[in-house]
Amino acid sequence: MTWRVGIVIPARDEEERIGACLAAVTAAVARSGCPAITCVVADRCTDATADRARAAGADVVLVNHLPRYVGDVRNIGFRYVGDRLGAVAERTWLLSTDADTLVAPTWVLDHLRHAAAGADAVAGAVDLDDPHVLPSDALARYTALVAGRVAGRTHGHAYAANLGVRGSAFQHVGGFPAVEYGEEHALLIRLRRAGLHVVSPTDVRARTSARRDGRARGGLADLLSTLA
């Protein structure tokens, strides 16, 4: 049975980055050959993010005007694409990335390889797309921090910019918890406590911005700002 894939990208004032993000996602979907829906959730944008997402080929653009935690914004997209796919939830794979992230051409296939091997969720790894923008000492501290939680082919990090979950597992735990930040960590905790199989492989990768003025409190940008 063919996998069906839903990709959700929350975006707040990301008119400069959403086109490149969607181009990378579109290439990864095309390589996978799977039926897919790409959904951008424009979160309280004051710029042309929604229009540029439509122009860049997003299958659907949802617009949120209310103040919500970013996990709730992701839930809006995940639940929408899950309903639209109408597939057997066991063979539905829901993917999360961010508007300042460029996924690899094999991104969808990489996730599905682990899903086919029995994973209910895949916490992928992230590389900095433009590490040169960081002060050298901050980059050194970040590199050491990341390396300290890598053991062989697995790692101990969680990034919403590179996260996948089986549709049935997402439904079972009720989606992302309502937390102010760290929603990807909170979701993985829910999944593990429910006895579901979560893997954190180093071979599923994406590249994300090293900017220090992020859109979500408590995210990677805040960490990089602190290290700098």
pLDDT at 27 over 80: yes
Percent of the chain predicted with pLDDT > 70: 93
pLDDT of 169 above 80: yes
Burial of 119 (0-12, 13-18, 19+ CB in 10 A): buried
Name which residue leads in pLDDT, 138 or 100: 100
Position 55 pLDDT exceeds 90: yes
User: Which domain covers residue 14, as residue numbers?
Assistant: 4-227
| Average pLDDT of the residues in 94-117 | 98
Distance between CA atoms of residues 18 and 211, nearest Å: 15
Q: Which of 158 and 138 is assigned the larger pLDDT? A: 158
Per-residue pLDDT at 89:
84
Model confidence at 41: pLDDT above 70: yes
CATH number of residue 65's parent domain: 3.90.550.10
Count of structural domains within the chain: 1
Residue that has been written with the tokens 């959904």 in this structure: 39
Rounded to an integer, the average pLDDT of 13-20 is 98
- Give residues with Cβ within 8 angstroms of 142, minimum separation 6: 128, 134, 223, 224, 227
The pLDDT, as a whole number, for residue 210 is 75
Residue 144, phi then psi, degrees to nearest 5: -65, -40
Task: Answer whether 73's CB lies under 8 Å from 62's CB.
Answer: no
| DSSP letters for 109-124 | HHHHHHHHTT-SEEE-
What string of DSSP letters covers 53-85? HHHTT-SEEEEE-S---HHHHHHHHHHHHHHHH
Residues 6+ apart with CB under 8 A from 166: 89, 90, 92, 93, 94, 115, 119, 120, 121
Residue 59 confidence (pLDDT) above 70: yes
Mean pLDDT of 47-67: 98
Those residues whose C-beta lies under 8 Å from the C-beta of residue 97, and which sit 6 or more positions away, are: 7, 8, 9, 21, 25, 103, 160, 161, 162, 163, 206
The predicted pLDDT at position 30 comes to: 98
Yes or no: say if 132 and 118 are a contact pair by the CB < 8 Å rule.
no
Dihedral pair phi/psi, residue 223, rounded to 5°: -60, -45
Band of the pLDDT at 212, cuts 50, 70, 90? Answer: low
Average of per-residue pLDDT across 98-114? 98
Q: Is the Cα dihedral 174, 180, 184, 189 positive or negative? A: negative
What kind and span of H or E run contains 143? helix 136-147
- Per 3-state DSSP, what percentage of the chain is helix, strand, and coil (rounded to 5)? 40, 20, 35
* Phi, psi angles (nearest 5°) of residue 67: -70, 120
20 pLDDT exceeds 80?
A: yes
What confidence tens digit (pLDDT) does each residue in 62-101 have?
999 999 999 999 999 999 999 999 756 889 999 999 999 9
What's residue 205's pLDDT?
A: 97
